[in-house]
A and B are shown apart, each in its own frame.
Chain A
Amino acid sequence: MKRTLITLVTLALLLSTLACERRGGGGGGGDDTGPIKVGIYGDLSGQTSSFGQSTKNGAVMAIDEINAAGGINGRKVEYVMEDDQGQPAQAATVVTKLINQDRVHAVLGEVASTNSLAAAPKAQEAKVPMITPSSTNPKVTQVGDYIFRVCFTDDFQGAVAAKFASNTLKAKKAAILGDFNSDYSKGMSQYFVQEFTAAGGQIVERQTYTQTDADFKGQLTAIRAAAPDVIFVPGYYGQVGVIAKQAKELGITAPLLGGDGWDAPQLWDLGGAALNGAYMVNHYSVDDPSPAVQKFVAAYKAKYGGTAPDAIAALGYDAMNVLADAIRRAGTTESAKLRDAIAQTKNFAGVTGAISINESRDAVKPAVVFELRDRKFVYKETIQPPGAPATAAASPGASPAAPASSPAVMPSNTAAGAEGGAAGSSANANAAGASGGAAGNTNR
């Protein structure tokens, strides 16, 4: 009896020490000295693995550049990359691990909004700042004041798509084919419907699919029967490529329209020529002629064997740089001060545009619309968000001669080399202000 009691008490004590987790300000070695530890989580091996890989590439490139320049305030940056396999439950688990075991000062990730939504509460609870580079669903930053993003949100992106559909494509009837399990897809559909119907359009058919579906012809046949002018497919590249292919097989001629979830090289592997004539909304153009973007593109290609950076990689790069800038300004990695410094980011010159964090911890940035043709993204137009920073609106008359970027020249540019993006500089309201062609279509 006595021995049992002793064993039980010892066990209880041991277990209670294990249960103790240091909460609050997940500070690593120290808040003012020692290496800065950044946790990055993303999908490296699952259905959306292109996103995780791109984010990692962008963020790691930023980290290497920072370290080569001597670190931040003399401190080197170290990172820990975790694979969440594209599963929300895994996302929450790896973020918990990054915070408690690796003791990171901040977390970068994820791309898919569903995964960010699963992991954000963990970061918020532990008061570790989290910056999502590419999650666009508005709910992500609503989780708490430690969660930030450096991209635009779906209420803007869905509206951009709807405006493009009704103004440029002159569509009166639209059908929606959404991903049932993705918060990103649901949010996009919701905002698209709102804006499209407000512009006088009609939604003639709504269908959904799941990421494990092999066959979309059932949904597409029903959509075809409703004869829409445009089909909105706010899903991820793994399914969109196949949807495009199967839509072509069914003889559907209405163009497909989608968002940044399409942005991956595998999209072309899966969809091939069926994607020609589709449109997508995205964060930045790799053909943007502004010097900052081209420098980034060249450096990325040199580092990663000739692959061009997609928007996800560019956002990963920007997110890391925003974090670094905030650490520099705060002078410390202490979590509350760091959080405040991130929240005060104003007009940070990122490769995806000027990043300013507003009161809801989102970034207000323009969107670019592309047409897909022959494995290239051909620039169509830029759409500024409401309340864009003054640098974008100020320059029409004063823009230094950048004649190639005048809208009139755009069509021939796209014909000539399918290089596109000549006026894409307007997408990049760089703080330097030298970007010409802010005359680029302000569709609002």
Chain B
Amino acid sequence: MDTFVQQLINGLTVGSIYALIALGYTMVYGILRLINFAHGDVYMIGAFAGFFLAHGLGFAAEPSVVGLGVTLVGSMAVAAVIGMAIERFAYRPVRKYARMTTLITAIGVSLLIENLGVVIFGNAPRAFPGLMENQTYPLFGNAAISKTQLLIFGVSVALMLLLQWIIYHTKVGTAMRAVSFNLNSAKLMGINTDAIIVFTFALGSALAAAGGVLTAQYNPTIYPLMGIITGLKAFVAAVLGGIGNIPGAVLGGLLIGAAETLVVGYGQVVGIPSTYRDAVAFAILILVLLFRPAGLLGTTVQEKV
């Protein structure tokens, strides 16, 4: 039993990261009907930004909570700027064309960022500095939760609550929801849709960067192609929860994380080797699209005429 709980804790930790990244996918899809394939690479940029900030500001040498906070906020800011730049220079010019064009542009931006990363940083993995010394708190039996895991849960929950507050209790959030219902009507209502779209990208990118820095505390290896697989799984998580639906993204992320870790931990009992961990997410994607394409929490209200 305690092993199961431990696996569940591990799975939810990984799942929280997927949830943070999935939120970005879902928000952008909600307002623009665009799947931002470059989002996984913004996650990678956040991790690298955190890496250089931590080393540049000297936090790597003496880990501290303040250091962690500054690195987190700093990397979120850098990623927000990059997200806004991507929107401005890659997506806005093609927004008036067919949906397929924007999709292909997204893929192009993703490949560009990945390969620029390889050229500038080199593909050799780097060690992200630990900004908080770790400690393990035993729960019961063999199950234990580590300080890093608590940190990831805590920060993810805090950011999701913050997002919730922004979307449902501020004017900007109301405007975002309006734009996601109908872009043209929102324009007619006097909302500056371009500004709202930029804001959404910034918000999503900041969340992905937070995910990047938090993952790096958990597994310190960072390299330019780290965003590919994680981004894809987060995308699957967004689809699982219902793309365009914010609570759905969180639910999807946690489910994918848990499923993946449980398959790794228990798969051998049914003959699935643990190297099938990545396949789990994609198997779920296929099942979702076959049986419930709108996602778990999605509704068909999303369809516009």
Binding site for B on A (CB under 8 A): 45-47, 49-50, 85, 180, 207-210, 212-215, 217-219, 221-222, 224-225, 238-239, 241-242, 245-246, 248-251, 266, 269-270, 272
Residue with the greatest number of chain A CB neighbours at <10 A, chosen from B148, B274, B277: B274
Are A45 and B122 interface neighbours, CB within 8 A? yes
Expressed in whole angstroms, the Cα–Cα distance for A196 and B6 within the complex equals: 30
- Residues of A near B264 (CB, < 8 A) are 218-219, 222
Expressed in whole angstroms, the Cα–Cα distance for A16 and B123 within the complex equals: 38
Query: Which residue of chain B is the closest to A249 with respect to CB atoms?
Result: B146
Residue with the greatest number of chain A CB neighbours at <10 A, chosen from B215, B219, B275, B277: B219
Chain A nearest Cβ from B266, distance in angstroms:
8
Are A49 and B122 interface neighbours, CB within 8 A? yes
- In the complex, given contacts A45-B122, A270-B221, what are 10 additional A-B residue pairs having Cβ atoms less than 8 angstroms apart? A49-B122, A85-B123, A215-B14, A218-B277, A221-B6, A225-B3, A249-B136, A249-B149, A269-B220, A270-B220
11 contacts between A and B (CB under 8 A): A45-B118, A45-B124, A85-B123, A209-B275, A214-B14, A214-B221, A218-B264, A221-B6, A221-B10, A238-B221, A241-B221
Q: Specify the main secondary structure of chain A where it touches its partner.
A: helix
Are B123 and A46 interface neighbours, CB within 8 A? yes
Please judge, given known A-B contacts A214-B221, A214-B226, A242-B220, whether A221 and B3 are in contact too, CB under 8 Å.
yes
Please name the 9 residue pairs, one residue from A and one from B, whose CB atoms are nearest each other, closest first: A218-B264, A269-B127, A49-B124, A217-B10, A249-B146, A218-B261, A214-B219, A225-B3, A180-B275
B289 is an interface residue with CB less than 8 A from chain A: no
Which residues between 1 and 58 of chain B lie within 8 Å of chain A, taking CB atoms?
3, 6-7, 10-11, 14
Query: Which residue of chain A is the closest to B14 with respect to CB atoms?
Result: A215
Which residues between 199 and 238 of chain B lie within 8 Å of chain A, taking CB atoms?
215, 218-221, 223, 226, 229-230
Query: Which residue of chain B is the closest to A205 with respect to CB atoms?
Result: B268
- Residues of B near A46 (CB, < 8 A) are 123-124
Expressed in whole angstroms, the Cα–Cα distance for A269 and B11 within the complex equals: 25
B154 is an interface residue with CB less than 8 A from chain A: no
Are A250 and B144 interface neighbours, CB within 8 A? yes
Expressed in whole angstroms, the Cα–Cα distance for A238 and B10 within the complex equals: 21
B130 is an interface residue with CB less than 8 A from chain A: yes
Are A251 and B142 interface neighbours, CB within 8 A? yes
Please judge, given known A-B contacts A218-B264, A250-B136, whether A210 and B127 are in contact too, CB under 8 Å.
no
Expressed in whole angstroms, the Cα–Cα distance for A218 and B280 within the complex equals: 14
Which residues between 232 and 287 of chain B lie within 8 Å of chain A, taking CB atoms?
260-262, 264-266, 268, 273-275, 277-278
Chain A nearest Cβ from B253, distance in angstroms:
14
- Residues of A near B118 (CB, < 8 A) are 45
8 Å CB contact of B274 from A214, A219, A249, A269: A219
Please judge, given known A-B contacts A208-B273, A242-B219, A270-B127, whether A251 and B138 are in contact too, CB under 8 Å.
yes
Binding site for A on B (CB under 8 A): 3, 6-7, 10-11, 14, 118, 122-125, 127, 130, 134, 136, 138, 142, 144, 146, 148-149, 215, 218-221, 223, 226, 229-230, 260-262, 264-266, 268, 273-275, 277-278
Are A222 and B124 interface neighbours, CB within 8 A? no
- Residues of B near A269 (CB, < 8 A) are 127, 220
Please judge, given known A-B contacts A217-B261, A221-B3, A221-B10, whether A249 and B123 are in contact too, CB under 8 Å.
no
Are B127 and A266 interface neighbours, CB within 8 A? yes
Are B218 and A215 interface neighbours, CB within 8 A? yes
- Residues of A near B221 (CB, < 8 A) are 214, 238-239, 241-242, 270
Expressed in whole angstroms, the Cα–Cα distance for A52 and B226 within the complex equals: 21
- Residues of A near B7 (CB, < 8 A) are 218, 221
- Residues of A near B149 (CB, < 8 A) are 249
Query: Which residue of chain A is the closest to B228 with respect to CB atoms?
Result: A212
- Residues of A near B6 (CB, < 8 A) are 217, 221, 224, 250
8 Å CB contact of B144 from A85, A239, A251: A251
Expressed in whole angstroms, the Cα–Cα distance for A269 and B130 within the complex equals: 10
Please judge, given known A-B contacts A218-B265, A221-B3, A242-B220, whether A213 and B127 are in contact too, CB under 8 Å.
no
- Residues of A near B219 (CB, < 8 A) are 214-215, 242, 246
- Residues of A near B220 (CB, < 8 A) are 241-242, 245, 269-270
Chain B nearest Cβ from A263, distance in angstroms:
16
- Residues of A near B268 (CB, < 8 A) are 222
- Residues of B near A47 (CB, < 8 A) are 123-125, 223
- Residues of A near B127 (CB, < 8 A) are 241, 266, 269-270
Please judge, given known A-B contacts A49-B122, A217-B261, A250-B6, whether A209 and B226 are in contact too, CB under 8 Å.
no
Are A224 and B142 interface neighbours, CB within 8 A? yes
Expressed in whole angstroms, the Cα–Cα distance for A47 and B261 within the complex equals: 24
Expressed in whole angstroms, the Cα–Cα distance for A224 and B4 within the complex equals: 12
Expressed in whole angstroms, the Cα–Cα distance for A217 and B7 within the complex equals: 8
Chain B nearest Cβ from A181, distance in angstroms:
8
- Residues of B near A270 (CB, < 8 A) are 127, 220-221
Expressed in whole angstroms, the Cα–Cα distance for A208 and B267 within the complex equals: 12
Are B226 and A215 interface neighbours, CB within 8 A? no
- Residues of A near B138 (CB, < 8 A) are 251
Chain B nearest Cβ from A249, distance in angstroms:
4
Are A214 and B230 interface neighbours, CB within 8 A? yes
Expressed in whole angstroms, the Cα–Cα distance for A213 and B122 within the complex equals: 19
Please judge, given known A-B contacts A212-B229, A215-B10, A251-B138, whether A222 and B265 are in contact too, CB under 8 Å.
yes
- Residues of A near B215 (CB, < 8 A) are 214
- Residues of B near A219 (CB, < 8 A) are 264-265, 274
Residue with the greatest number of chain B CB neighbours at <10 A, chosen from A45, A213, A215, A272: A215
Chain A nearest Cβ from B255, distance in angstroms:
15
Query: Which residue of chain B is the closest to A207 with respect to CB atoms?
Result: B274
Chain A nearest Cβ from B114, distance in angstroms:
14
Expressed in whole angstroms, the Cα–Cα distance for A209 and B136 within the complex equals: 24
Chain B nearest Cβ from A335, distance in angstroms:
34
- Residues of B near A180 (CB, < 8 A) are 273, 275
Are B122 and A249 interface neighbours, CB within 8 A? no
Chain A nearest Cβ from B175, distance in angstroms:
36
Expressed in whole angstroms, the Cα–Cα distance for A139 and B52 within the complex equals: 42
Chain B nearest Cβ from A375, distance in angstroms:
13
Are B122 and A272 interface neighbours, CB within 8 A? no
Chain B nearest Cβ from A57, distance in angstroms:
15
- Residues of B near A266 (CB, < 8 A) are 125, 127
Are B275 and A208 interface neighbours, CB within 8 A? yes
Are A221 and B265 interface neighbours, CB within 8 A? yes
Query: Which residue of chain A is the closest to B3 with respect to CB atoms?
Result: A225
- Residues of A near B122 (CB, < 8 A) are 45, 49
Please judge, given known A-B contacts A215-B14, A218-B10, A249-B148, whether A209 and B124 are in contact too, CB under 8 Å.
no
Query: Which residue of chain B is the closest to A210 with respect to CB atoms?
Result: B275
Expressed in whole angstroms, the Cα–Cα distance for A250 and B3 within the complex equals: 11
Please judge, given known A-B contacts A45-B124, A238-B221, A272-B130, whether A208 and B3 are in contact too, CB under 8 Å.
no
Are B146 and A208 interface neighbours, CB within 8 A? no
